[in-house]
Structure 1
Amino acid sequence: MSIIVTGGDGYLGWPTGLRIASETDDRVLLVDNLARREWVSEVGSVSATPIASMETRLTAAQEVHGLRNLSFVQGDLTDRSFVDELCQIHEPQVIVHTAAQPSAPYSQINGERANYTQQNNMQATRNLVFGLHENDLVDTHLIETTTTGVYGAPEFPIPEGGTVMEHQDSRDEVPFPAMAGSWYHMTKSHDAANLRLAHSQFDIPISDVRTAITYGAGTKETRADDRLMTRFDFDYYFGVVAHRFAAQAVAGYPITVYGKGKQRKPFISLEDAVEGLTRLAVTDSDERPDDHVVYNQVTRPISIVEMGTTIADVATEFGFNTDVEHFENPRDEDETHKMEIENNRYANLIGGQSVTFEEGIREVFETLTDCTERIKSHEDRFLPSVLEDRLAEEAE
C-alpha cells in the first residue's frame, strides 16, 4: 500500500508526512513543487526556522526516526500528465492533499496573484480527482485540507459540513453556502464543491478537512532534530496572526490588536492538525470511509485580544517584554463577532484537544528564542502599517 502526501515540503504537509510514515509500514510519498519557498522569497521574507533541503530532511528522518518508508518526488500537480504518472506508478490507496497557495493576502495583491492562486489550487484538486477516476483508483481515500474560511463569519453556529434548509413544506440538507472573503478562500470553496461532485459522480471516498488557523513551531517528530524542522512564516503574507504577534514580541514591539479585538477566530495547534490527518490516512482498509465527510479541523475559537494577551504573557517568560496595544481598525469587520463552530466529528477523531493555545505558544517561543536575529532582520515584513506610522512619527 502507498500513501501520497501532497504539499510535502510545506508547513503542514511535512510534519504530516513524518507522522504518517512513523505510524505505518506503508510507503509514504511526499510530493511538492517547492513553490512555497519561492513565494515567501518573492515577498521578501524567510522562514524564521531555517529549512533544510528535502534530501537532508529525508536523511535525518531515516537517521533519527528510522523512517525507510518515506520518499519524495518533485512535481507540479497542475500538470495533468504528472498526476497521471503518480497514480499509475504508485497506485495510492490514500492521498492527503495539503498542497495549495495558502495565503489570502498573497492572493489579494493583484489580479495576477489572484489568477495564479485560483488556477493553481483548483486545477491541482481537479487533476487529482480525475487522475483517480480515469486510472481506476476510485477506492482511493482522498483527504483534502480546505479551510474554515469557506464559512465566512455568519451570525449563527457553523455546522460541520451541510445544513438543513426548509422552504414551504420541503426540507433538505445542502452544503453550507460559500461565504469566503478572499480569492484564496474562494478556491477552497470551489474545491469543497468539486469534492462533493467527485464523490457524487465517481464514488470516490472524500474527507473534506476544513482547517482552522494553525499555529505552532513543530511536532514531536520535527523537534527531534534541527534538520527536521518545519517552516515558520511570520510575514504579513504567509504568517498567520498568532505567528506575526509572536514575531512582534520577539523583535521588541507591542502586539497590535485592531479595534476591540473581541471577534473570535477558529484555531488549532499544528500537533492536533497533524494528528487528525494521520488518523484519517492510516485507517485500516476495511474501516476506510466510502462516503463524503466534512470535518471542521478546529479545537476552539479564540478572540484576537485573548490571543494577543496570551502571547504577551508567555513572551515575558522568555524575556521578551511586550504589551498589547489597540489601534484603529483599518478593516471593515465586526470586532465583537462571537464565532461558534461545530467540531464534534473532528474532536472525536483526535480524541480531544491535546495542546492548549498557551502550551502551543510556549512551544513557539522555545523555538523562536534561537531565531531572534533572523526575525529582526525582516521586521519590515511583519510590522503593520499602523505601527510603522507611529514609529515614523516618534522618530521625527
Structure 2
Amino acid sequence: MSIIVTGADGYVGWPTALRIAKRTGERVLGVDNGARREWVASVGAKSATPVVSIEERVAAAEEQGLTNLSFVEGDLTDRAFVDQLFAVHEPDTVVHTAAQPSAPYSQINGEHANETQHNNMQATRNLLWGLHEAGLDDTHFVETTTTGVYGAPEFPIPEGGATMENDGDRDEVPFPAMAGSWYHLTKSHDAANLRLANTQFDLPISDVRTAIVYGSGTDETRADDRLATRLDFDYYFGVVAHRFAAQAVAGYPLTVYGKGEQRKPFVSLEDAVEGLARLALCDPDDRPAPHTVYNQVTRAISIVEIAETIADVGAEYDLDVAVEHVENPREEDETHKMEIENDRYDDLIDGQSVDFETGMDEVLRAMTDQAEIITSHEDRFLPDVLEDRED
C-alpha cells in the first residue's frame, strides 16, 4: 500500500501528510512544486510562522520517527511527470490538496485568472486520466474542492446532490456551480470532472468540499519547529479570521463591513486534517460509496462573531482589540444566514474537536510570538479604511 499526498508543502497538505505517515507503516509520498511559496512571495507577503525548506521538513519528520514519509518535487500540470509518478509508485490512495487556493489572487487580472484555472484544472485532469490510463482504477481519489462552489443560496445547502422536480418527475442532480471567483470556479469544474471520472472510469471518488480553514497547526506540526505549517495573514492568502488576528496583533481595530451578520462555513485545521487522514487510510472494503461528497465544515460563523471572538481572546494576550463597523464597499447580503448540511463529514471525524475560540487562541499565540513579522507586513493585510487613516 502507498499513499500520495499532493500539495504536500502547503497549509493543509503538509500536516495531512504528517498525520497519515504517523498512523500507517505504509509509504507516504508527498508531491509539490513549491508554487505556494512563490505565489505568496509574488504578492509581497510572508507566512507568520517561519517555514523551513521541504528537505528540512522531511528530515525533521524522520527524526520524529516518520521514516515512511518521503517527497518528490514535480508539477502536476505536466502530464509526463504524472504518468511517471503513477508508473513508479502505483498508489492505493491519492489525497489531492494541490491548488492555487486564493480567490483574490485569481481576481488580480486575466493573467492570474488564467494561471489559476490552468494550474488547478489541468492538475486534476492529469491525475484522473493518469490513474485510469495506468490501470489504477481502484485507487481512491480524495480531493479537497471547496464549499465555495455552492455560492450563498437562500436554502440549506445539501451534502452532495440536490433533488429536482419537474412535471411530477424527481431526480438527484449535481449541485449547480454558483462560484463567485475564478478560483472557486476551478473547483466547480473539478467537482464535475470528479463525478465524470467516477462514471466513466469507476474511479472511487471522495469530493471533500472544504470550508474556510482556521488554525496554526496540529499535534504533528507542533512536535518540532521545523514541522510547522504555514500561517498566511495577507489579503490574498490569509483567510478572514487570520487577517483579523493580524490586525489585532498589529494594534488595529477589527473592521467589520456593514452589519457583518452574514455567516461563512468554517473548519479547524485539525478537523480538516483528521477527515482527510481517515479517508486516506480507510480499508478498501470500508470505503464510502464510489462517489461521495463531504461538506468539510463544522459550523457556520458570522463575520461579526469572528471579530468579537478574536477581541475576547486577544485580551488574554494583552491586546486591546476594538471592533468597528464600517461602510461596506461590497454588494452583498450582510445578514445572509448560511445553512449547510455536514452530517456525513461530522460522522467521518466523530464530531468537531477544535472549536473556533480554541483555534483562534492558537493563531493569536503564534502571531504574537512573531509580532515583528506581522507589523512589518501590515500593508499586506490592512483594509483600505485603515490604511487611509492618519497616525
Normalising by structure 1, report the TM-score. Answer: 0.98
Partners of 2:284 and 2:158 in 1: CA distance: 28
Name 1:59's counterpart in structure 2. 59
The percentage of aligned residue pairs carrying the same residue is 74
Q: Which digits, 9 at most, give the CA deviation of each residue in 1:200-236, with x for residues without a partner?
A: 0000000000000000000000011110000000000
Name 1:27's counterpart in structure 2. 27
| Structure 1 stretches lacking a partner, 5+ long | none
Counterpart AA for 2:31 = V
**Aligned: 1:134 with 2:143:** no
Q: Which digits, 9 at most, give the CA deviation of each residue in 1:253-311, with x for residues without a partner?
A: 00111000000000000000000000000011322345100000000000000011001
**Within 5 Å, which residues of 2 pair with 1:301-312?**
301-312=300-311
Partners of 1:357 and 1:314 in 2: CA distance: 11
Name 1:267's counterpart in structure 2. 266
Partners of 1:164 and 1:78 in 2: CA distance: 35
Counterpart AA for 2:161 = G
**Within 5 Å, which residues of 2 pair with 1:166-315?**
166-289=165-288, 291-315=290-314
Note if contact 1:60-1:225 (Cα within 8 Å) is conserved in structure 2: yes
Partners of 2:166 and 2:317 in 1: CA distance: 57
Note if contact 1:213-1:267 (Cα within 8 Å) is conserved in structure 2: yes
The CA RMSD over aligned residues, in Å, is 0.7
Counterpart AA for 1:55 = E
Where in structure 1 do 4 or more consecutive aligned residues deviate above 4 Å? none
Name 2:367's counterpart in structure 1. 368
Partners of 2:25 and 2:224 in 1: CA distance: 22
Partners of 1:267 and 1:371 in 2: CA distance: 24
| Structure 2 stretches lacking a partner, 5+ long | none
Counterpart AA for 1:286 = D
Name 1:49's counterpart in structure 2. 49
Counterpart AA for 1:349 = L
Partners of 2:19 and 2:310 in 1: CA distance: 27
Name 1:4's counterpart in structure 2. 4
Partners of 1:24 and 1:176 in 2: CA distance: 35
Q: Secondary structure at the match of 1:286?
A: helix
Q: Secondary structure at the match of 1:329?
A: coil
Partners of 1:369 and 1:226 in 2: CA distance: 16
Aligned length in residues: 391
Name 1:17's counterpart in structure 2. 17
Tell me which moved more, 368-377 or 3-12.
368-377
Name 2:114's counterpart in structure 1. 115
Q: Secondary structure at the match of 2:123?
A: helix
State the shift of 1:386 in Å.
1.3
Partners of 1:383 and 1:369 in 2: CA distance: 17
Counterpart AA for 1:138 = D
Name 2:162's counterpart in structure 1. 163
Partners of 1:354 and 1:72 in 2: CA distance: 29
